[in-house]
Homo-oligomer: A and B are copies of this chain.
Amino acid sequence: MTAADPAGRLAAYQARVEAALEARLPPASELPARLHEAMRYSALGGGKRVRPALLYATGELLGVSGAPLDAAAAAVEMIHVYSLIHDDLPAMDDDDLRRGRLTCHRQFDEATAILAGDALQVLAFASLAEAAAGAAERVAMIALLARASGTQGMAGGQAIDLGAVGRTLSAAEVEQMHLRKTGALIEASVGLAAALAPALAPDRREALGRFAAALGLAFQIVDDILDVEGDPRLLGKTVGADKARGKPTYPAAAGMAAARARATALHADAQAAIAPFGPPAAMLSWLARYIVERSS
């Protein structure tokens, strides 16, 4: 499969995960209505859906059928959205805007935002447990997503991030933090699709792992760069927020030129890792470039 119209395909992935989320989120008409509204407010109708797009593209590359991909795409996006809701809370990053709209706790209230995050996390695991796949594949996906979300992954990265505010980290320390905070879930997006292809050759699985690891780190370094140089109208959030908070970022640790060079090198690593797949990996390759060269 080649990617004749990659932008159109990305839009199709975005529509697909939107539908997959809609199908799994409880209706706002059902009790507890305010909690359901908050979950839907944060999960639906926005975002680049980078993680689901990587998951769908990997699944298509590996010939995985559609329905379990939808369950996995919804799950990884729910984990991402829950982490944004909790990271935005006053006790954490204290953000008012997200994707150009009020953050969940500003639109609703703090208690509802905490519960909406909690409930999205559990719904992610429910989505995987109920996926249209064999029990062994479902368990493998759940174990993988749990590892990526826990203290060795996303939650741990956020803890390191909070603990580092105001301190000066080395570029290597910032990378360790980014690998957990952002990289783990990007890796899981590719890994979940690969978990649905149990017959995949080990060297191919390993190559996809290297692709995702490099891309995950590049993604966050680009995020750091955009926080300095980005256009707030495109980003839908305040620029310079990381610096104002004394947050550890790659440009702060290594300088902007080094940050750009590192992102470029990681992008090259990612492309090299999937080169053996040839033209069928064109969509994954396009997504990697899109992620690294994005302006929002």
Q: Which residues of A contact B (CB under 8 A)?
A: 26, 31-32, 34-36, 39, 82, 86, 89, 91-92, 109-112, 114-115, 117-119, 121-123, 125-126, 128-130, 134-136, 138-139, 142-143, 146-147, 149-152, 155-156, 158-160, 162-163
Contact B119 A91 (CB under 8 A): no
Contact A156 B91 (CB under 8 A): no
List chain B residues, Cβ under 8 A from A82: 118
- Please name 4 further chain A to chain B contacts, defined as beta carbons within 8 Å, in addition to the given A26-B152, A89-B111, sorted by A numbering: A35-B156, A92-B111, A115-B162, A117-B118
Least distance between A32 CB and chain B CB atoms (Å): 4
Q: With contacts A35-B151, A139-B129, A151-B36 known, is A123 near B111, CB below 8 A?
A: no
Contact A162 B111 (CB under 8 A): yes
Least distance between A228 CB and chain B CB atoms (Å): 24
Least distance between A238 CB and chain B CB atoms (Å): 20
Binding site secondary structure of chain A? helix
Q: With contacts A91-B114, A111-B92, A135-B139 known, is A150 near B119, CB below 8 A?
A: yes
Identical copies in the complex: 2
Contact B110 A129 (CB under 8 A): no
Q: With contacts A35-B151, A126-B150, A129-B142 known, is A91 near B111, CB below 8 A?
A: yes
Closest to A155 in B: B119
Contact A125 B142 (CB under 8 A): yes
Contact B147 A126 (CB under 8 A): yes
Contact A114 B115 (CB under 8 A): no
**A123 CA to B86 CA in the complex, in Å?**
17
Contact A32 B143 (CB under 8 A): no
Contact B32 A118 (CB under 8 A): no
Interface centre among A129, A136, A158, A162 (most CB of B within 10 A): A129
Contact A126 B111 (CB under 8 A): no
Closest to A131 in B: B139
Contact B118 A156 (CB under 8 A): no
Sample 29 A-B pairs with CB under 8 A, ordered by A number: A26-B152, A32-B151, A34-B159, A34-B163, A36-B151, A39-B151, A82-B118, A86-B115, A91-B110, A92-B111, A111-B162, A112-B159, A112-B162, A115-B155, A119-B151, A119-B155, A121-B122, A122-B146, A122-B155, A123-B146, A123-B150, A123-B151, A125-B142, A126-B142, A129-B139, A129-B142, A129-B143, A134-B135, A139-B139
